[in-house]
Amino acid sequence: MPCHCHDHECECLEEHEHEHLHSSKKELFVLLIKLGVSVLFLLLGMFLKFDYSWINIIFYAISYLTIGYDVLLEAIKNIFKGEFFDENFLMTLATVLAFIIQDYTEAVAVMIFYQVGEYFQHMAVEKSKKSIQSLFELNIEKAVLYQNGQEKEVNLEDIQVNDILLVKPGEKIPVDGTVYDGHSSLNTSSLTGESLPVDVTKNDIVLSGSVNLNGVLQIQATKRYEESTTYKMKKMIESASKNKAQSEKFITKFSKIYTPIVILLALCIALIPPLFLGFSTHFNEYLYRALTFMIISCPCALVISIPLSFFAGIGKSAKEGILSKSSQSIEALAKTTKIAFDKTGTITKGAFKVIHEESNNPALFRKIIVCVEKKLNHPIAQSIVAYYENQPIEKINIEDVKDIPGVGIVASYQNQPIIIGNAKHLEEHHIDYPQVKEPGTTIYVAYQSKYLGHLILQDEIKETSKEAIQELSQLGIQETYLISGDRQEVASDVANQVGIRHVFAKMLPEDKVHVIQSLKSKNEVVAYVGDGINDAAVLLESDVGLAMGGLGSDLAIEAADLVIMDDNLKKIPKGILIAKKTLRIVKQNIILALSIKLLVLIVGALGYAPMWAAILADVGVALLAILNALRVLSRRI
């Protein structure tokens, strides 16, 4: 003790519940001992009368130092660091000056009230953080390695790619992987916010943090722990609480200006009235008012409740399957006025089907396109390979494969160039090709600088896309944009089906960045939703970048401010509602704290509030603000 309000950083703690309870009990025990000793010596000082008054003063001093030594030490340390204007300094200055004017009982009583109030504030914050953390409990301590029919418990950090792990009913999957053997149902609510179980069987992809509900599963690790979903989520949540939003930065700046002004006003209260009324008769009275004024001025409620409000918003979002990397992300999302979307894998499922093939040399065309696309991991590449998997296609040696995001592929076969991609890609290489009118995504293939053939693929629109756009419109976000590398006809058709108003087609990654730059202005906050490698730059350029976590590339997820864990676009309007509620509560706490502080400051300056009442007012406002911050967690958004 004490846990002072400037130290209440809302970080994601990893202590177990019994450790937390043990720590709380220990803090309470220490406080009670200090409180008992302090009150004993306070009563001795008040009721025992000695011939020498300095004995009473010693009793008061012992009482004061027992309960307040840590505040004094913290104030002295901060003075040497150049941090003069915090609550430790204000408390020390006020109580020491109270001693100087021989108001010993008041000085000790104020310090006792302060320490008890700090304890209750500390416990309220810890309980609040614990409630928030329980929303996205992701702790996994150990894993069971399964080798040669033997089970061996291992640390998560020791798991290697391709290790076989045994996961029994009720246990969490420790790392990302695939089902090697067995079938079961998984509870993925801690990752996606969805309560419906997901059935999995052999070769299905599973994410760490999912709870195995019934059958025994053998999981083959595809990632190490440090690269798995659970680890990334925990790190994102932890880092989110450390990055301050504009509202939090405002309070930090405000406190640095506000506290010196308060001390200056306190000096004026202490010195100016006695100049006119007489120092000898009125100085102690107005000094007392000044000390009360200083105690009231401490901005604890703001310093505690605002980070806690954002932390609650981050926790609530995580519970709904939306991971935020910072408080800034929550604040920016609440202020979003325009949203732009990538098409493939975002508005659509990214599950392409080949619907038409045309070529002047089918055998060569198929050999080239299959052997090239096998070297890539893009949804289109996977769809093409899957389309031809049951056909007897000769394997050829493809070399120098280079994937150009948003354009296509260059490679070589028998030292001759291969060009695969969109129409623009062929035009850049001065290759003539036939115009395709059919709807869908067209993939052209050229070999030896000549057109060889093309495929037409169609993508399926996600079931949630249209509803999500409608819900965004209801939230007042009318300006929606589709920014796609596909043809104008294809992009416009998709936009019309889901209700997106504006379309930018045939966009390269750098073109997408320019579009976002043109949409941004002083009064506009632009969000971008994407999933692929070619979205990383535009996610960084936007005011709010949202990555689709399930299908999204690691690079896109790294570049984004928020990650939607299950690729459900309806999470975006839900996330905006949570962000708006969070920001609304932050503003309420600022107004609440400043209004009550101002009222009590005036009462204190007029001499109607004793110092102990000032402490109660300070603690009371802080507790009210904490309770208000926790409203973010309520089911009603």
C-alpha span between 28 and 49 (Å, rounded): 33
CB 583 within 8 A of CB 633: no
537 and 490 part of one domain: yes
Instruction: Please indicate, yes or no, if residue 593 is contained in any of the structural domains.
Output: yes
Instruction: Please indicate, yes or no, if residue 570 is contained in any of the structural domains.
Output: no
Task: For 225-237, give one letter per residue: b (16+ CB within 10 A) or e.
Answer: beebbbbbbbebb
551 has pLDDT over 70: no
CB 211 within 8 A of CB 172: yes
Instruction: Please indicate, yes or no, if residue 39 is contained in any of the structural domains.
Output: yes
213 and 269 part of one domain: no
417 and 289 part of one domain: no
C-alpha span between 22 and 26 (Å, rounded): 6
For residue 517, count other CB atoms closer than 10 A to its CB: 12
The answer for residues whose C-beta is within 8 angstroms of residue 149's C-beta and 6 or more apart is none
> For the chain, how big is the Rg over CA atoms in Å?
32
Q: Considering its fold, how many domains does the chain have in total?
A: 4
Mean pLDDT of 262-269: 86
483 has pLDDT over 90: yes
465 and 442 part of one domain: no
pLDDT of residue 582: 92
276 and 333 part of one domain: no
For residue 521, count other CB atoms closer than 10 A to its CB: 10
Question: Among 67-71, 480-484, 569-573, 578-582, whose mean pLDDT is lowest?
Answer: 67-71
Instruction: Please indicate, yes or no, if residue 123 is contained in any of the structural domains.
Output: yes
pLDDT of residue 544: 92
Side chain identity at residue 295, one-letter code: I
Count of residues making up the chain: 637
Beta bridge partners of 455: 357, 443
Say which CATH number the domain at 224 has. Answer: 2.70.150.10
The answer for residues whose C-beta is within 8 angstroms of residue 613's C-beta and 6 or more apart is none
Q: What is the pLDDT of residues 180-191, one digit of tens each?
A: 999 998 887 666
300 and 332 part of one domain: no
486 and 454 part of one domain: no
Q: How confident is the model at residue 368 (pLDDT cuts 50, 70, 90)?
A: very high
Q: Which of 587, 539, 107, 523 is nearest to 346 (CA)?
A: 539
266 and 415 part of one domain: no
CA angle 351, 357, 363 (to 5 degrees): 115
Q: At what angle do helices 279-297 and 571-605 cross, to 10 degrees?
A: 170
Q: Which of 183, 206, 230 is the last residue of a domain?
A: 230
pLDDT of residue 21: 45
Instruction: Please indicate, yes or no, if residue 384 is contained in any of the structural domains.
Output: yes
**Diameter of the chain by CA atoms?**
117
Q: Which of 194, 189, 162, 192 is nearest to 175 (CA)?
A: 162
Say which CATH number the domain at 426 has. Answer: 3.40.1110.10
CB 501 within 8 A of CB 355: no
Say which CATH number the domain at 326 has. Answer: 3.40.50.1000
pLDDT of residue 334: 93
Question: Among 53-62, 98-107, 337-346, whose mean pLDDT is lowest?
Answer: 98-107
480 and 534 part of one domain: yes
Higher pLDDT, 99 or 358: 358
475 and 345 part of one domain: yes
Q: How confident is the model at residue 255 (pLDDT cuts 50, 70, 90)?
A: low
For residue 529, what is the DSSP state? E
Mean pLDDT of 254-280: 82
Q: Which of 458, 488, 504 is the last residue of a domain?
A: 458
pLDDT of residue 175: 92
Q: β-pairing, 184-187 with 211-212?
A: antiparallel
pLDDT of residue 89: 77
Burial class (CB in 10 A: 0-12, 13-18, 19+), 11: middle
pLDDT of residue 190: 66
Mean pLDDT of 86-107: 78
14 and 127 part of one domain: yes
Q: What is the pLDDT of residues 126-176, one digit of tens each?
A: 665 665 555 555 567 789 999 888 899 999 889 999 999 999 988 889 999
> According to the 3-state scheme, what is the secondary structure of 205-236?
EECCCCEECCCCEEEEECCCHHHCHHHHHHHH
User: pTM for the full model?
Assistant: 0.68
**How far is residue 14 CA from its own chain's centroid?**
16
pLDDT of residue 529: 93
Instruction: Please indicate, yes or no, if residue 182 is contained in any of the structural domains.
Output: yes
Instruction: Please indicate, yes or no, if residue 200 is contained in any of the structural domains.
Output: yes
Q: How confident is the model at residue 249 (pLDDT cuts 50, 70, 90)?
A: low
Q: Which of 458, 478, 511 is the last residue of a domain?
A: 458
278 has pLDDT over 60: yes
Higher pLDDT, 380 or 7: 380
pLDDT of residue 132: 53
Instruction: Please indicate, yes or no, if residue 549 is contained in any of the structural domains.
Output: yes
C-alpha span between 534 and 342 (Å, rounded): 10
Most confident range (mean pLDDT) of 6-10, 213-217, 519-523 is 213-217
pLDDT of residue 136: 52
472 and 344 part of one domain: yes
Q: What is the pLDDT of residues 16-48, one digit of tens each?
A: 444 444 556 777 788 889 889 988 998 988 888
What integer best gives the mean pLDDT of the chain? Answer: 82
Q: Where in the sequence is the domain holding 277, given as residue range(s)?
A: 5-134+244-313+580-633
Show which residues are catalytic.
Answer: 342
Higher pLDDT, 354 or 89: 354
